[in-house]
Structure 1
Amino acid sequence: MKKHISITILIILAWAGSAQSQSNITVTRNEAQVDFPQSVTFQLELADASDVAEVNLIYEVDRVSCLEANTAVPIELDGNEAEWTWEMVRSGNPPPGATLRWAWQITDRSGNVTTTPEQSHTFVDDRFAWQTVSAPNIRLHWYEGDEVGQVLLDAAVAGLDQLQNEMGITLDSEVQLFIYEESADMRDAVLYIQDWAGGVAFGNYNIILIGVPPRIAESWGVPTVRHELAHLVIGQFGRSCVGGSRPTWLNEGLAVYAEGEPSETVQSDIANGIEDNSFEPVRSLNGAFSAHGPEAGIAYSQSYSVVKFLLETYGQEQMQSLLLTLAAGEGYDEALEAVYGFNVDGLEQAWRQSLNLPAREIPPTPTAVSAQAIPTIEPFGLPESVPTEPAAAATAVPPTTTTNPAGGICNLTVFPLLLVGFGLVVRRRK
């Protein structure tokens, strides 16, 4: 059973008793009781409902959408009162930081409509005493560790600077990050999230939640914040309502590139791939990465290498053009042909040549890979297998770091779940 947070919002309207309507409808109470993340109960009370023919609740949550997102719910009056509950267990819940807006439309028997002023509430996980640091277009909230907030904000700013300077991509709307001390605390704020998830990115809300224990804020938190923020920023740049998507190697390669200097793991993967000539065909990285940890991690490193080749060889303007061409709905091969003059196979041959690797034998008819669905919520994995500090003893043996059993799997798949889609994103520990 999920823990949840109970909040009651009582709005005593200043204009109660003087609602502007030809039918003299007077609102005496307008409440929203928020039991986050389980439900919101909207309540309306009128001074006199004898002339009321119809009551509708209009509500929406601020987010990026290609369609009108507000919902109109007809409510039956019970005397002078109307009440309706939004059960989030049916739809999934918006994240902390998201803003709910609502108003009531009241129609009298003559057809006159009174619409109450719009009210709003920002969902809050009030179990914790949040602190906030900010930079242009970034707000980062945390509650544990004196230095955690500034360390991770600096990481986010550095990631944005790299995206702008090396890719020419800027953030066009504010992003919020909520840093929990433990992943379990983060999971209690989100319905329908996997038990292993260490964080979740709500792309349509521009909100990221991550569990970052303060002791690994530098080693794990910094690259993870930069990586996941890059997904949101690049997603904003190439946001599309026509169904366009990016191949996984491009999506993840750009995010790893945004982490900054490649980790020792990434460098080792690339060096081993060159030495053994063991890289996978780039076309095989168009879709989901392997479910096996080591193979998935190598796919990340290879994707980084391919993206680095494109940026350093052809520059940021053509990378921007590729992202926008894909967003317009072009296929992966067609987009690459239009921007660079080669398809996925031609890209592979050019990239391999830059690494002094022999050309790969390409089948005459490449297998098409269909575009993946774009998930609404992307949970990503825990900083697993961080060793326990050894006891202070002369004979203590240094702990052995093991790998995250879930590996490094971003966008592995999409699980349809009621109105919410989940795409796995597991960040392997550096």
Structure 2
Amino acid sequence: MKKLARALLLVAAVLTLSTGVYLAAPAQAAGEITVVSDSHQTKFPTQIVFNLQARGTNQIEKVTLYYKVSGGDANSYARPSFTPGTDVSAQYSFDAQKSYIPPGTDITYYWQIEDANGNQTKTDPVTFTYEDGRFKWQSVSLGSISVRYYSNESQAKDLLAGAAEAVRTQSTDLRVNYTRPLKIYVYASRSDMTDALPKKSETYDSATTTLGVRLSPEVLLLLGSQSGVKQTMFHEIMHMIVGAAAEGPYSEIPTWLNEGLAMWSEGKMTPEYKNEIDRAIKENRLLSVRALTSFPGDPSLVNLSYGESWSIVSYMIDTYGIDKMADLLAVFKQGSTTDKALTKVYGFNTDELDARWRASIGAPPAQTSNSHGRTSQPQSVPTLTPLGSQPQGTSSGTNVPLLAGVGGGVVIVAAGATVLLRRRHKAA
């Protein structure tokens, strides 16, 4: 009986020890690195904060954050400061104003951690959307297109229908299979939209009102309180479609074609542009098509540059058809120069296009050269990069135009006036 009791006690002891080993927390293997926590916090519009806590059996000596912004070409990285040890906490604050990121941008990141013996571990990639958290956004969507709003649902639905129709018709016209996501953010007021835009200068920001801006290949911001919001949207969507149709690693289409198509997508030419062209014809100061390869830097020629581009593209489509225009963009995509592309598709070069267009609007032949750029060669002046449309503004008195940078070019700011503009931001 005593032997049986001792045996039972021995079995109980073994079971107790086995249970104790099973319940104990597993020890880290030699060289193992464990991620305790991995988080991020957005503080729109100023910064994004990334946090990491990690533990290792050896001293952790290097922590690197890798991140990629949607639409970017490559990963970026940052090495936050931290105190090396077996338990570390690292934090990196991304300055979202110094390195501007549009709202609605997807960001993917991961951490790489390395200890003193060279052992490494990587966290799983995390993707999040950098949102403007100041408002309670709602969304209406159709396929890959979404319109985000916080004020006017009826307007958002109308814009969604218009955007879907614009993508469908413009893609069909230019023979593009456009499938990229499109996020449209509609702001209810100028003051609401201001903090979502890239900062320039106090003078610039106070003197301009942005009606619409394409900040990345997938993000478009609109000022919902403007009367021409739908036309602004059509204009910017056409830039996206033209980019898909014509832009390649070795291609660069002339500004008159890019902006002319965007203006044409808005519909019939408005009186202010028609009047500007008529005045230029009367005063014999039309710009040549070749001079509009990139827009001149003279602020007084902005409306004329956009108006002429609109007129040139309208002439080409009305005379030769939209299929020829689609052919032209396809040739550009192959890396052709403007003269070679025009000759291949239409049978004439830039100068002949200039002559035919002038004849169609009742303008005299181009002069060889003058101060307004009627020359067979582009002017060596600062370039107005495509901004979407012309600045529009009203004020009393005479204002001295200022030049301010947007992306890689300039926009027009009239001192003492509020300038309304549609523009495109060139993402870094």
- Same fold per superposition (TM over 0.5): yes
Distance 1:137 1:370, change over 3 A: farther
Matched with 1:232 is 240
Matched with 2:229 is 221
Distance 1:334 1:406, change over 3 A: farther
User: Number of paired residues?
Assistant: 380
Q: Tell me if the contact between 2:248 and 2:334 (Cα under 8 Å) persists in the aligned partners.
A: yes
CA distance in 1, matches of 2:317, 2:400: 30
Q: Tell me if the contact between 1:240 and 1:328 (Cα under 8 Å) persists in the aligned partners.
A: yes
User: Map of 1:44-193 to 2, 5 A cutoff?
Assistant: 44-48=52-56, 50-63=58-71, 65=72, 67=73, 69-78=74-83, 79=85, 80-91=88-99, 93-193=100-200
Q: Tell me if the contact between 1:33 and 1:41 (Cα under 8 Å) persists in the aligned partners.
A: yes
Q: Percent identity?
A: 27
1:32 aligns with 2:40: yes
1:424 aligns with 2:411: yes
Query: What TM-score results when the alignment is normalised by the length of structure 2?
Result: 0.75
Q: How far does the alpha carbon of each residue in 1:202-230 deviate from its partner, in whole angstroms, 9 at most, with x for none? A: 454421112231xx4xx311211111221
CA distance in 2, matches of 1:160, 1:279: 33
User: Map of 1:364-379 to 2, 5 A cutoff?
Assistant: 366-368=376-378
Q: Tell me if the contact between 2:38 and 2:51 (Cα under 8 Å) persists in the aligned partners.
A: yes
Q: How far does the alpha carbon of each residue in 1:281-314 deviate from its partner, in whole angstroms, 9 at most, with x for none? A: 2222222256546x42233222112112222333
User: Map of 1:4-15 to 2, 5 A cutoff?
Assistant: none
Unaligned runs of 5+ in 2: 1-24, 413-418, 423-428
CA distance in 1, matches of 2:149, 2:392: 17
Distance 1:287 1:380, change over 3 A: closer
CA distance in 2, matches of 1:369, 1:227: 27
Match among 210, 214, 220 for residue 208 of structure 1: 220
Q: Please give the secondary structure, in 2, of the residue aligned with 1:50.
A: strand
Matched with 1:302 is 308
CA distance in 2, matches of 1:297, 1:368: 18
What is the one-letter code of the residue matched to 2:43?
Answer: D
Unaligned runs of 5+ in 1: 1-16, 386-400
* Structure with bigger gyration radius: 2
Matched with 2:348 is 342
Query: Which 10-residue stretch deviates more, 224-233 or 315-324?
Result: 315-324
1:311 aligns with 2:317: yes
Query: What TM-score results when the alignment is normalised by the length of structure 1?
Result: 0.74
Q: Please give the secondary structure, in 1, of the residue aligned with 2:40.
A: strand
What is the one-letter code of the residue matched to 1:424?
Answer: V
Tell me by how many angstroms 1:359 deviates: 3.6
Distance 1:161 1:383, change over 3 A: farther
Matched with 1:198 is 210
What is the one-letter code of the residue matched to 1:157?
Answer: A
Q: Please give the secondary structure, in 2, of the residue aligned with 1:367.
A: coil
